[in-house]
Structure 1
């Protein structure tokens, strides 16, 4: 069989596995809460792997290795910012958000949590949060479809539109039928595929080198890739060479985005207990660290790997984002190489499915349910959520037919939008008793508008996350302090949620439901 045939076989196996998980999840989804949040029954391994896979997307396997290969270690600042941000998110947000969302009227979406936490009777907070989610996630899902189309172009030399439609159709299919459980378990499998590929490919490439120790000096002293003037890239291993302070701050600021990403935060809300956030943190951050390490060594080893043999070359001669894929093709049998190539698909699809489900949940839970005169039964709500998945996918697909921005540009814009609009509100909701609804609304709007304006007109100065997060925080605090204090029932619930998080964190064997009752009665 030809190489392409083997690749197609590998992808068919992968797609079939994703659909099988979707069907299995469908059989276990009986209630609306099952479809939206897996009835808060996610174990920490699945939650951690799902959060990581839905977060990283194709950037981890293509964008990061390509940037490190092309420029050098100065491109690591984003990775460092993301790693620190992920750790902080699991440490300080996950356990409190898990306990607080259940105590606060069993909130199953981020907008419903904001409304219930602050007792906003106007519904404005919930509606505005939902609009922000729908707006930014439509662009985010569109970027995933663009990645899928370009993946098929680069891998098979096929049509962009055909590849985009195939990736979108399979992702929509398992999200449509299986809901949150399908998304979480497919994400976990996809995360393991990404992890295995990012470890195996650089290790096998290192073994294939004539002199493995060359990787620590080759790029700085020898020609490779785009460097052909005989001196190589002398600053390759220097993390600050040619990088401004604004660029470093902007790249590190990507880490702030974690506090406001609905598709990641919903994994915390779905944990079985707050105590399991600790185990999830070690699994999730450990996975992320090793994956970033694999991507980094893919680039470092690649500088030697593609230089020692003139018969092989990187397919992408501009951004060099195909070095991971090219290594896989060269090193392995076509079937194994095809399975390695599915790691990129896994990264793309895991992110898309998570975002589709969050938008669907927001449309039904946060918009439809608050205007419906009569609440329909469980089956109708599930079917409405499934319909919303398809509608959002169609709109995102229309935007992806003729993409007007780079993949990283679309992702960066949406990441900053959520980080700035929701990040300060999430942190304040969990740790600031004084926060009120007017302050949250003002901060949320300020963050979203700042990112939109700055990203379109001033992005060359510094990444829009920085001004967006800072201004949102300042406005949120100022408006909160200038308006009335929250009612006693709000502050009492805040104290209960904080106490419950502390109690369950001390002993992982503590039964969450029993502890919640004792805290409510004042027995602990």
Structure 2
């Protein structure tokens, strides 16, 4: 059989596995809370893998190796910032958010948590945060479909539209039927595939080298990839992390980590944990996975400088950004079936991110907008069906935008991470740790962060420093200023804040107690 046939067989196996998980999740989903948040029964390993896979996307397998291959280790600052940010998110946000969302009227989405936490009767906070989520994630979903189409073009030489529709259809199918549980478990499988691929591919490529130790010096002294025009020059600063990098660039790259505190598709995993105490396990699972994946991606690039130079008959498909070095290595080193299964790691990264975004947008449409205007609360099954309908609607809109991708759509996605981080990051930290916070300050800070981040990126400010920095700082400053200049929260809000703090501390010491029981004891004053 031809290589393409083996690849197609691998893709069919992968797609069938995703659909099977979706059907299994469907059999476990009876209630609306199950569809939106898996009944708050997520194992910490599943939560960690799901958060990691939905976060990293294709950047980990294509963008990072390509950037490291072209420029050198100075591109690692973003990865370091993300690693530190993810650790801090699991450490400080996960356990407190799980506790507080339980106390705050059993909030199951980020907008509903903000509203319940601050007792915002105007509904402005919930509506504004929902609209920010829907706007950014609809374009994000579209970019995922674009990536799926490009993947099929690059891997099979297939048609862009056909590939986009296949990826979209399967992702929508398992998200539609299985909801949050399906998304979480497919993400887990996809995270494992990404991890295995980023370990196996560089190890096998290293074994194939004549002298494996060359990877630590080759790029500095020899021509390779983008450095072939100046014969004998090489990239003398390849292993220098600060050469040619300004302080503003380093700060901006590290600031990517600040974005974690405000990413709805990541923090929702914390709300789905079984207990706050399991955040510690989730942190070690998630950060361990992320660290090893980043190391794998780094070695893909370092080994690639030698591997492709010593095999001049092998051509890297992407001769501009060199982002296909991982795909090219996998295709060359393994039997086509194994290579096809390894190459599904990129597809896994695309689909895991897209499915998480679809579900978050669906939840915002139904939980945060429809339910507040509905005159009468529908039944559980009607709410589930409405959520499923919302998944399809958002997917159709994203698909229409992806049919003819243009720079404005793809450019918006480039700073959507900063948009979410700036709008929701400072608010999340303040909501969990600052008792004085009020609704006026929260709303002002959130809108300021979103507007400043968006405007900074649109009008060229990102050439100076990454928009996360001004967006996050302006959001925090405005939030604090408006809060202090307006009336403080009502006594019941401050009392609930203390209850959430007590619940977090109590569940940390009594890990065997169900959180619902502990929450009842706290609210009744027994603890």
Q: TM-score range by the shorter chain?
A: over 0.9
Do structure 1's residue 68 and structure 2's residue 68 form an aligned pair?
Answer: yes
Structure-2 change in CA distance of 1:80 and 1:95 (3 Å): same
CA–CA distance in structure 1, aligned partners of residues 463 and 226 of structure 2:
25
TM alignment of 1:85-164, pairs within 5 A: 85-164=85-164
CA–CA distance in structure 2, aligned partners of residues 233 and 327 of structure 1:
21
TM alignment of 1:471-510, pairs within 5 A: 471-510=474-513
| Aligned partner of 2:373 among 364, 371, 376 | 371
CA–CA distance in structure 2, aligned partners of residues 211 and 338 of structure 1:
28
| Aligned partner of 1:401 among 380, 395, 403 | 403
Residue 307 of structure 1 aligns to a residue whose secondary structure is helix
CA–CA distance in structure 2, aligned partners of residues 411 and 87 of structure 1:
24
TM alignment of 1:286-305, pairs within 5 A: 286-305=288-307
Do structure 1's residue 522 and structure 2's residue 525 form an aligned pair?
Answer: yes
CA–CA distance in structure 2, aligned partners of residues 521 and 374 of structure 1:
30
- The answer for the alignment partner of 1:193 in structure 2 is 193
Q: How many residues align?
A: 524
Do structure 1's residue 431 and structure 2's residue 433 form an aligned pair?
Answer: yes
Do structure 1's residue 461 and structure 2's residue 461 form an aligned pair?
Answer: no
CA–CA distance in structure 1, aligned partners of residues 413 and 336 of structure 2:
31
Q: How far off is 1:412 after superposition? A: 3.0
- The answer for the alignment partner of 2:308 in structure 1 is 306
Contact 2:448/2:471 (<8 A) preserved: yes
Contact 1:146/1:407 (<8 A) preserved: no
Structure 1 residues 363-415: Cα deviation after superposition (integer angstroms, max 9, x where no partner): 00000000011111111111110110011111111221222239974443110
Q: How far off is 1:7 after superposition? A: 0.2
Residue 459 of structure 1 aligns to a residue whose secondary structure is helix
| Aligned partner of 1:412 among 404, 414, 423 | 414
CA–CA distance in structure 1, aligned partners of residues 409 and 345 of structure 2:
17
CA–CA distance in structure 2, aligned partners of residues 167 and 512 of structure 1:
38
CA–CA distance in structure 2, aligned partners of residues 363 and 283 of structure 1:
32
Residue 306 of structure 1 aligns to a residue whose secondary structure is helix
Residue 316 of structure 1 aligns to a residue whose secondary structure is coil
Q: How far off is 1:351 after superposition? A: 0.2
Q: How far off is 1:159 after superposition? A: 1.5
Contact 2:136/2:413 (<8 A) preserved: no
Contact 2:70/2:322 (<8 A) preserved: yes
Q: How far off is 1:521 after superposition? A: 2.8
CA–CA distance in structure 2, aligned partners of residues 234 and 99 of structure 1:
51
CA–CA distance in structure 2, aligned partners of residues 242 and 70 of structure 1:
14
CA–CA distance in structure 2, aligned partners of residues 288 and 205 of structure 1:
21
CA–CA distance in structure 1, aligned partners of residues 366 and 294 of structure 2:
36
Residue 466 of structure 1 aligns to a residue whose secondary structure is helix
CA–CA distance in structure 2, aligned partners of residues 166 and 410 of structure 1:
24
- The answer for the alignment partner of 1:448 in structure 2 is 450
Q: How far off is 1:509 after superposition? A: 2.2
Q: How far off is 1:455 after superposition? A: 1.1
- The answer for the alignment partner of 1:56 in structure 2 is 56
| Aligned partner of 2:317 among 315, 318, 324 | 315
Contact 1:117/1:490 (<8 A) preserved: yes
TM-score (norm 2): 0.98
- The answer for the alignment partner of 2:237 in structure 1 is 235
Contact 1:147/1:407 (<8 A) preserved: no
Structure-2 change in CA distance of 1:202 and 1:510 (3 Å): same
CA–CA distance in structure 2, aligned partners of residues 460 and 38 of structure 1:
42
- The answer for the alignment partner of 1:3 in structure 2 is 3
- The answer for the alignment partner of 1:390 in structure 2 is 392
Do structure 1's residue 179 and structure 2's residue 179 form an aligned pair?
Answer: yes
- The answer for the alignment partner of 2:214 in structure 1 is 214
CA–CA distance in structure 2, aligned partners of residues 403 and 173 of structure 1:
23
Contact 2:201/2:326 (<8 A) preserved: yes
CA–CA distance in structure 1, aligned partners of residues 245 and 51 of structure 2:
30
Which segments of 5 or more consecutive residues in structure 1 lack a partner in the other structure? none
Q: How far off is 1:508 after superposition? A: 2.5
More deviation in 458-467 or 382-391? 458-467
